[in-house]
Amino acid sequence: MISPEELTKSRILVDTDVVSYVFKKDTRADFFYPYMLHRRLGISFMTVAELYFGAYKNSWGANRILQLENAIKSYVLLPYDYTLCQHWARIRTHCENVGRMIEHPDIWIAASALLYDCALLTNNGKHFEHIPLLVVISPGLS
């Protein structure tokens, strides 16, 4: 595991679960805070979609959704483009070739991290650990 001091990347892509932990002030976010200090924090468009899905699925009211929108604005939203789609396709092909299936939203998040040269902060490290060149920071990964 890379310590916060050893992490050389200045840009961090924050996975949906970690954004949710931070937003809800969940203690599971505590592991990630040291990695987030003094770094540029980004999120994938997929994270925004997943956060809205969670809010609508749980029937959040307008005030709570507004709080979520304000929290989202504290991150750089990494844009979608054709190059990102190419990264997505390469990652999906690699995963299929090595027999390690990964959910499509996670592929978008991994593709964003690779395209924008970010380390990935996630509580779901096992989902991403087999993707070449992706720096994954997650509790329990060695």
Mean pLDDT of 67-91: 96
**Domain membership flag for residue 120:** yes
Mean pLDDT of 52-63: 97
**Domain membership flag for residue 1:** no
Pick from 49, 53, 52, 15: nearest CA to 35: 15
**Domain membership flag for residue 90:** yes
**Domain membership flag for residue 4:** no
CATH number of the domain encompassing residue 132: 3.40.50.1010
Residue found under tokens 């396709």:
89
Model pLDDT for residues 11-26, shown as the tens digit of each residue: 999 999 999 999 999 9
Domain that holds residue 96: 11-137
pLDDT score recorded for residue 142: 60
**Domain membership flag for residue 6:** no
**Domain membership flag for residue 2:** no
Structural domain count of the chain: 1
Model pLDDT for residues 29-39, shown as the tens digit of each residue: 999 999 999 99
